[in-house]
Structure formats: structure tokens, C-alpha cells
Structure 1
Amino acid sequence: MRQGLIYLCACILFFGSCEDTKKRPETTVETKSEIKKDVEDEIETDENSEKINETENFPEITNDNVVSFLTEYGEKNPETNVLIETRFGNIELELFTNTPLHRANFIYLVKQNYFNETFFHRVVPNFIIQAGNSDLVSTPRKRAKLGADYLLPAEIIPGRIHQYGTISGAKEYRENPDKKTAPYEFFIFLGPQTSTSHLNGNYTVFGKVSKGMDVVKKISKVKTDDGDWPLQNIYITAKVLK
């Protein structure tokens, strides 16, 4: 059930605001933090929801070390293929090598189990589905361990546009002339090319769906509330393929 107003406000203040676009240029959408169902029991019983890979002692990522850390991590972890599992089916992603910071960041988050027990939390039919957040307390806790405040420098490739199945990074809701990416959320584009004028050149496209667009389409058709949040949470898990 939905938590009280105090909990909601506290969560909203904790989360950075992220944006994507819906019907007009630069429509902003804050990351959601409301509880949609009986998640307290899930939080208490699912001990895996907060686990971070501790096989290596990685530093907290900050805006000061983000480039050096992800550059080194990317050299040691060159994988480009990721599997996203949902109750609707599986989605395979291919990450582009010429957006190296975004690729390395995504692989890092997958290997640190960040995405496990997060949701496809925003669905806009015939436009995008967005993932990487949840209304569980485990999500801000994970972010706090990995690096709560860092942003990714834009890696916008001239001529690369949003197309059916491309993957882009969401942006924090702020004055953002440098077009930096919020590291924890991504969206898959489904909409017509006529909907991309405010996306192209403003959001880093760092990958594409290589298999499973039928699953993406199923997710894009679920019922949502007025804030584009699915009425039934769409949990995801992620793992590196190669």
C-alpha cells in the first residue's frame, strides 16, 4: 500500500530528479518514490534486493573520479551484451563501444546487481519505456553505496539519432547545458521519428535492443497511473552475457 506523506516526501528529496520527454520538448518527470503495493513485506523478506557485489573493493563514484574510474573499469570489463529479464519475457541489449563511459557504467551497475529488483517504472505508449528506479527503499540504499550524486559526461555522437529500439540515458532534472546523464536510469525508444527532435543531440544514445522488441512492446501497453507508472510493478533483473 502507499506509504504516508512523510515517507513519500523523504524519498522524493532523496532521489535526484530525472527527466525524459513525453509530449513536448523537455517535459520533466521526477523519479517516482511512492509505494504502489505491499512492498514492506518484500523488503523484509527479499534479502537479495540490496546486495552489492563485494568481490572487489570499488570506491564510491563521484563527479571528480567518474571519468578515471569508468575508463579503467571499461578497459578491464569490455562486455557489450546484457540480458534484461522481466515477467513479460527477456530483452537483450547491445551496448555501443563508442560511448565508452556509458557502456562501462551500465556494465558496472549490472555486475554490482544494481538493476535487480528495480522496475520499468515509466511507460509512455508509442514513445518510451524507462527503467532503473523503484519505490523500494533498497534502491536509494544501493545508490548511496555506489555513488549517489555522480553524473555521466555526455557522449553524444554526431548523426546518431533515436530510432526504434535505441537505448538512451535519462537526464537529471536540473539546468543541464552540458547534457550529462543520470547514471541509474535508461529508456528504450519506441516512438515515431517525428517524436525525436527534442531527444536527438540532447540525450546520449548508448545502445540498442538486439532481441526482444516484442517484449518491449508488451510492456509499453500496460496500464499506468497519471504519472506513467505501471499499475503493477514490472520488476527487472540484469546480467552480462558477453
Structure 2
Amino acid sequence: MKSFPNLKSIVLALSILACYACNQQTEKAETEAIPPKAEANPDTIALTSENIKEVLTAYGQKHPDSIAVITTRHGSIKVRLFKDTPLHRANFVRLAKSGFYDQGEFYRVVKGFAIQGGDSDNRTMKQTAYKIPQEIKREYIHKKGALAMARYGDDRNPDKASSSHNFYIVQGEPVPLYELRTWEEKHGIKYSPAELKLYQNLGGEPSLDTEYTVFGEVIEGLDVVDKIAEEQVGASSWPVKIVPHTIKVQ
């Protein structure tokens, strides 16, 4: 004779089914509640030696800015950032947009050579330690007004990678032809007639060519560069009266 489950068995079975359905719904709800994995934001992700090319390339594509204004108590310097040095351009724009450069100053001034900025003893904003892969272009010489990144020397930095944030603007002086010929031989390059004319008339610092990444140039405010270069300096060429700067991109 066919047996039938008693009432207690039926209630237990229904309870088990109800719990199973409840668990299934909970798992589904939990699964649906998990947001899709967000892509790394190049505006905020910390830079490292492993991710720097990827992050700065993505940032540069998102922020194609190529004009920046450096403002000081002596006036403003407008610079054009070169698009064919994309990592340096993106890094400079990124630091400017984050406000990092607004806490910097021209902390090294060598009249007839260059003014160097970006750092400051008064900075509160911090960043990770990294270097920018060099993007040295033969066509970008260190004429007066050239914007370039500082770096450690070849003994500890044979790849000529740039500083993460310290930049300089060349002041320089007119360079005689015989000296330019010497630098041509030393660096294994040949200046064009136009470059020779620039160095002889406008001035610059050919000793730095092929050694540092030039990634921009002054298009307005060379007189401000000259004024900063006139600052009285103390030890390590640090201005006696600090020259803070802010940097905005346009």
C-alpha cells in the first residue's frame, strides 16, 4: 500500500524549500548589488615606476591642455607645452590641476643660466616618488625660455629620467659661435643656421642640449624670467626672499 508523508514531514519539506528559495534570492540580490569594477581614474591614481606610462598616457588623452600660466610676484609667464613630449606634458598639467604646483616656488636662481621651480620647504601636499621616462628631442634646444624638467645626474640616473615635479626655465646668455661649435662636437649634433642664430642673438644654454627633456617654451613673460633671475640669493642659489608660484592650465 502506498504510503503518504505525514503532516510533519510536509511542513519540514516546505520549510526547507522556503529557506532554499530565500537563500537563492539573497544570493541573487547580493550578486546584483556588487557594482561593476571601476576603471582606474588617471586623475587620482598614485603614480609609480610600474604604471607611470599607462596613467600619464590616459591622463594626457583626457586632458589635452597645452598652455599654462605661471604666476609670481614679478608677473606671469605663459608657456606652451609640447604635445610630442606627452608624458611630461601630462605630468605638468596633472600637477597644476591638482593644486600641487600652487604650493611651489622658484627655489633655485642662477642668473645667466636658469630659474628652477616646483619644490618648496612649505609644501603640505605630498605625492609618491617617481621619475618620468625621458622624452629628449633633438629639435628642442635650450634656447632662452625653454621649459624643461630637472633630473639626477647620469651616475645615479643613466636613463636620464626626469624629476617628478622640479622644472626649470632657461635664461641663459648669448653664446658665441666658437662655443656652439664646441658643444656640437661634445654632444654629437649639428645646429641648423636658425638654431645658431637663436643662440647667438636670443641666448640660451647649449650645455644642456640632449641631456634634459625640454617639453615647452615661454610664449609670454621672458621679462618676468629676467626679473626672477635678478633675485638676491644665498646658499645653494636659494632666493633670500622666496618667489612662490601658482600654475594654472588653459
1:126 aligns with 112
1:212 aligns with 221
- For 2:133 and 2:245, locate their aligned partners in 1 and report how far apart those are by CA, in whole Å: 26
- CA-to-aligned-CA distance 1:135-185 (integer Å, 9 cap, x gap): 1151xxx233xx2x2100000112321101000100035611110000211
- CA-to-aligned-CA distance 1:80-110 (integer Å, 9 cap, x gap): 0001111111111110011000000000000
Aligned with 1:112 (options 70, 73, 98):
98
- For 2:70 and 2:119, locate their aligned partners in 1 and report how far apart those are by CA, in whole Å: 14
Matched residue SS, 2:53: helix
- CA-to-aligned-CA distance 1:17-66 (integer Å, 9 cap, x gap): xxxxxxxxxxxxxxxxxxxxxxxxxxxxxxxxxxxxxx986211000000
Matched residue SS, 2:88: helix
Shift in alpha-carbon separation, 1:225–1:67, aligned structure 2, 3 A: same
Cα contact 2:152–2:160 (8 A) shared by 1: no
Matched residue SS, 2:208: coil
- CA-to-aligned-CA distance 1:193-229 (integer Å, 9 cap, x gap): 4573431111000000110111110000010003100
- For 1:56 and 1:102, locate their aligned partners in 2 and report how far apart those are by CA, in whole Å: 15
Structure 2 portions without partners, runs of 5+:
1-40, 180-203
Amino acid in structure 2 at the alignment position of 1:82? A
Shift in alpha-carbon separation, 1:109–1:57, aligned structure 2, 3 A: closer
Matched, 1:236 2:219: no
Q: Which runs of 4+ in 1 moved over 2 A?
A: 192-198
Amino acid in structure 2 at the alignment position of 1:176? N
Larger Rg: 2
1:28 aligns with none
Shift in alpha-carbon separation, 1:150–1:215, aligned structure 2, 3 A: same
- For 2:42 and 2:140, locate their aligned partners in 1 and report how far apart those are by CA, in whole Å: 35
Aligned with 2:234 (options 221, 225, 242):
225
Cα contact 2:70–2:248 (8 A) shared by 1: yes
Shift in alpha-carbon separation, 1:225–1:170, aligned structure 2, 3 A: same
Deviation of the 1:239 alpha carbon:
0.7
Deviation of the 1:190 alpha carbon:
1.0
State the identity %: 38
1:143 aligns with 126
Structure 1 portions without partners, runs of 5+:
1-54
- For 2:59 and 2:223, locate their aligned partners in 1 and report how far apart those are by CA, in whole Å: 33
Matched, 1:196 2:177: no
Matched residue SS, 1:91: strand
- CA-to-aligned-CA distance 1:69-90 (integer Å, 9 cap, x gap): 0000000100000011111111
1:167 aligns with 147
1:155 aligns with 135
Matched residue SS, 2:126: helix
- For 1:125 and 1:181, locate their aligned partners in 2 and report how far apart those are by CA, in whole Å: 23
Equivalent residue pairs, number: 181
Cα contact 2:113–2:205 (8 A) shared by 1: no
- For 1:106 and 1:159, locate their aligned partners in 2 and report how far apart those are by CA, in whole Å: 20
Q: Which is helix-richer, 1 or 2? A: 2
Matched residue SS, 1:178: coil
Matched residue SS, 1:67: helix
Cα contact 2:142–2:206 (8 A) shared by 1: no
Cα contact 2:146–2:216 (8 A) shared by 1: yes
Shift in alpha-carbon separation, 1:213–1:196, aligned structure 2, 3 A: closer
